[in-house]
Amino acid sequence: MHTKTLTELRAGLAAREFSSRELTEHFLRRIRQFDGEINSLITVTEEQALAQADAADATLARGEGGLLTGLPVAHKDIFCTEGVRTSCGSRMLDNFIAPYTATVVEKMAAQGAVMLGKTNMDEFAMGSSNETSFYGPVKNPWDQERVPGGSSGGAAATLAARLAPAATGTDTGGSIRQPAALNGVTGLKPTYGRVSRWGMIAFASSLDQAGPMGLSAADCALMLAAMAGHDDKDSTSLDEPVGDYLSDLNQNLEGLRIGVPEEFFPDTLDGAIADSSRDALRELEKQGAKLVPLSLPSINLSVPAYYVIAPAEASSNLSRFDGVRYGHRCDDPVDLLDLYKRSRSEGFGEEVKRRILVGTYALSAGYYDAYYRRAQQVRRLIRDDFARAFAEVDVIMGPTSPETAFKIGAKVDDPINMYMADVFTIAVNLAGLPALSMPSGFVNGLPVGTQVIGNYFQEGRILNVAHRYQLATDWHQRIPGAFA
């Protein structure tokens, strides 16, 4: 059952080939068998999963059900789940039992999804390798000496190892797409505001967006249909109609205009990775798409702009962790300031503290204009580059990540090098656009991903392009040998 896609499992449940309980027990067994090796889950919610599965079976027996009835899903441990530990990968929240449930989790549960557990992640989603997690690094199922990417690395590894058929992720600078690429799975970051952020622990609020991760574009379409929509509880959630993602999947690509920015294929790029994305473009050309060379000159400044904006917003968001109302509290504080300082210093890891300090510095008196204001101006230049491009093309494509999965420990002492892992993904967050990563080949036995970027609210179009590509290729069906 674990080699099937979510879409196939849904059909299997509908045809009564197996029950939700059988399906759920199968994945729970696989988690018990394999998760010790790859460390992709922080918490497994076995009892609740089985209760939800039984409820789903009862619903299905009545001939009823929603989009996800009886289908198991693993949620990133950044989404609050009432009564279940929600750690965000941090010692700060190791003892935090969420008192409410995130909208994303609630909406998927309302469509009948069964929660298997909570996936490992970089601490507070700050990282591109999953090495900053308080719970230890996740291992890449394709090569356990390597990282799964991050920050949704636990989610991507869970999928690659087939420990769950569906997962949720969040993406602030590439945290869905980069790990999807490094694990050979498909992940979509929707338009900023498409999916509610309520109950999703905030990192950089003007960039954070939740999205689906799965084994195929069709699976992501199914999940997004359940996740998307306006939410009064999130003031940045947008009141736009939700597309019919499943019906859009099969449209033909005749006449599709694909923008190919020169900035996504720099001379310094690994030739094998460039070839993988170029092969994907050729496949889409065969299906009737036209390639349009273009330039997005300002995106070369996206990494520096991001490393001002994201830490600045993080320094503000993470000020809520003060040892008073929830989370870690130091022993025997001598006064209030000591309580704040020691609780925070003990609760946060090195990378999180580093980003809080950078953000605090960038926002401090005298530096605001030089850093934050300028970064926000560059952000507009980047958005305008994309707006000009989308006047000419329907989607924009290139490699998701400039490299395949790197060795655990290879970059921990070199933050700048680590930050460059997201060089192709960050501009999309700054512009607020939707983008997907799909498997497009292998280099030295490690998966490579290609990114499809769309205009605002064009999730249906992106999923359609990826689905048509996946009908013609089988990269997304490959399973790492040890987990087959």
Binding positions for another protein, rule: CB under 8 A:
96-97, 99-100, 192-193, 206, 232, 235-236, 238, 298, 301, 303-305, 307-308, 315, 319, 322-327, 329, 333-342, 344-345, 348, 353-354, 356-358, 360-362, 364, 367, 370-371, 373-381, 383, 415-416, 419, 430-433, 456
Please identify, using beta-carbon distances, which residue of 67 and 93 lies nearer to another protein.
Answer: 93
Query: Active site residue: 40, 151, 216, 315, which one?
Result: 151
Closest approach of another protein to the CB of residue 214, in Å: 25
118 is catalytic: no
Q: Catalytic residue among 175, 302, 343, 437, which?
A: 175
Cβ closer to another protein: 18 or 333?
333
Nearest to 423 by CA among 270, 200, 220: 270
**Considering the complex, what minimum distance in angstroms separates the CB of residue 321 from another protein?**
10
Residues 6+ apart with CB under 8 A from 364: none
Residue with Cβ nearer another protein (127 or 214): 127
Output the smallest distance, CB 200 to another protein, in A.
Answer: 18
**Catalytic residue, candidates 20, 76, 128, 298:** 76
Instruction: Assess contact for 140 and 147: CB atoms under 8 A.
Output: yes
Please report how close the Cβ of residue 223 comes to another protein at its closest, in angstroms.
23
Number of Cβ within a 10 Å radius of residue 71: 31
Select 72 or 190, whichever has its Cβ closest to another protein.
Answer: 190
CB of 71 to another protein, least distance (A): 29
Q: Is 175 a catalytic residue?
A: yes
Residues 304 and 375: beta-carbon distance below 8 Å: yes
Choice between 29 and 320, CB closer to another protein: 320
Asked about 315 being catalytic, the answer comes back as no
Q: Pick between residue 276 and residue 425 the one whose CB is nearest to another protein.
A: 425
Nearest residue (CB) to another protein, 34 versus 340: 340
Query: Shortest distance, CB of residue 8 to another protein, whole angstroms?
Result: 36
Give the nearest distance from C-beta 122 to another protein in angstroms. 17
* Unique residue bearing structure tokens 């009892």: 47
Minimum distance between the CB of residue 417 and another protein, rounded to whole angstroms?
10
SS (H, E, C) the chain: CCCCCHHHHHHHHHCCCCCHHHHHHHHHHHHHHHHHHHCCEEEECHHHHHHHHHHHHHHHHCCCCCCCCCCEEEEECCECECCEECCCCCHHHCCCECCCCCHHHHHHHHCCCEEEEEECCCHHHCCCCCCCCCCCCCCECCECCECCCCCCHHHHHHHHCCCCCEEEEEECCCCCHHHHHHHCCEEEECCCCCECCCCECCCCCCCCEEEEEECCHHHHHHHHHHHECCCCCCCCCCCCCCCCHHHHCCCCCCCCEEEEEHHHCCCCCCHHHHHHHHHHHHHHHHCCCEEEEECCHHHHHHHHHHHHHHHHHHHHHHHHCCCCCCCCCCCCCCCHHHHHHHHHHHHCCHHHHHHHHHHHHHHCCCCCHHHHHHHHHHHHHHHHHHHHHHCCCCEEEEECCCCCCCECCCCCCCHHHHHHHHCCCHHHHHHCCCEEEEEEEEECCEEEEEEEEECCCCHHHHHHHHHHHHHHCCHHHCCCHHHC
Q: Identify the CA nearest to 443 among candidates 184, 100, 132, 169.
A: 184
Minimum CB distance to another protein smaller for 34 or for 361: 361
Query: Considering the complex, what minimum distance in angstroms separates the CB of residue 360 from another protein?
Result: 4
Are the beta carbons of 107 and 237 closer than 8 angstroms?
Answer: no
Please tell me the total number of residues recorded for the chain in this structure.
Answer: 484
Residue 213 or 378: the one with the smaller Cβ distance to another protein is 378
Catalytic residues: 76, 151, 175
